[in-house]
Amino acid sequence: MKSETVSNILPEQKRKPKWLRVKLPTGKKYKELRGLVDKYGLNTICASGSCPNMGECWGEGTATFMILGNVCTRSCGFCGVKTGRPETVDWDEPEKVARSIKIMGIKHAVLTSVDRDDLKDMGSIMWAETVKSVRRMNPETTMETLIPDFQGVEKHIDRIINVAPEVVSHNIETVKRLTREVRIQAKYERSLGVLKYLKQQGQRRTKSGIMLGLGETREEVIETLYDLRANDVDVVTIGQYLQPSKKHLPVKQFIMPDQFEEYKTIGLELGFRHVESSALVRSSYKAQKHIN
């Protein structure tokens, strides 16, 4: 197979291609949730991150909440979250998140967080307490936890496994060759190890995500899919990388829709239970469908 950057790509251009243009969110359910978020000052990564799928997900009763503050100890080249010295942990946060989910009437909640390498437990205790609080206050709500790598420390990962969220996700983000550039403090093999350990310890459903358009080749994307499947990952999401600001890594390619479709076909043939693959796909896209 000829090694080359992804075929079917657009040259660098100022305007986004038409398939990356998003319609404004609409619908009764979306308007209700938007009103609740504004009224109570609720914190969702959907709204603060201007997710293109917010209207669709909220309309289906799914939302993503970020815990452990909004300042990350890492400085990944793709991520728009602030980097620096995080604030003190708010131990009331689990109840606040659980209450927000109850007020919004969320059927499926996705929890994510910044990296907290400054903490001895790397935030894993807060993670566990949040899952328990959400379950106590919202017994009918299912959950996905999109976790950091916790530097691969098993006792921290065990805290997530012990509270048994329906889905545990950890994003590989990019291909092996680009990991050092894209995820400066992360390691490709360590992320695979986290996903493998989750399954070895009995986690029923695991998930990971990849961004495209950072200069990866078609062969490297397929290799990454092979690596994820070899570590028994059940669900994979594949989407287009978009530059958060001029300070972040530039977009090298806009991937064509038919290329996303090819990756979806390859992923399903490899044995993934679900593959979400299109330009606007993000980690929590259609998350409620990834439980079963």
Question: CA angle, 219 as apex, 188 and 183 as ends, to 5°?
Answer: 25
Q: Report DSSP state, residue 234.
A: -
133 is in an annotated binding site: no
48 is in an annotated binding site: no
169 is in an annotated binding site: no
Question: CA-CA distances (angstroms) from residue 264 to 31, 68, 104, 212, 253?
Answer: 32, 33, 32, 13, 18
113 is in an annotated binding site: no
Question: What is the SS3 assignment for 135?
Answer: helix
Pick from 98, 167, 83, 157: nearest CA to 124: 157
d(CA 225, CA 175): 9
46 is in an annotated binding site: yes
Instruction: State how far Cα 258 lies from the chain centre.
Output: 23
**139 within 8 A of 173, measured Cβ to Cβ:** no
Pick from 187, 181, 258, 179: nearest CA to 220: 179
Using left for φ > 0, alpha for ψ between -120 and 50, and beta otherwise, residue 152 falls in left
- Token pair for 288: 């409620």
d(CA 245, CA 238): 21
d(CA 251, CA 54): 22
Q: Residue written as tokens 């899952």?
A: 131
Measured in degrees and rounded to the nearest 5, phi and psi for residue 188 equal: -60, -50
Q: Residue written as tokens 């914190």?
A: 43
57 is in an annotated binding site: yes
284 is in an annotated binding site: yes
Amino acid symbol at 65: F
Beta pairing partners, 217? 5
Which residues are known binding-site members?
Answer: 46, 51, 57, 72, 76, 79, 284
**Binding-site residues from annotation for [4Fe-4S] cluster:** 46, 51, 57, 72, 76, 79, 284
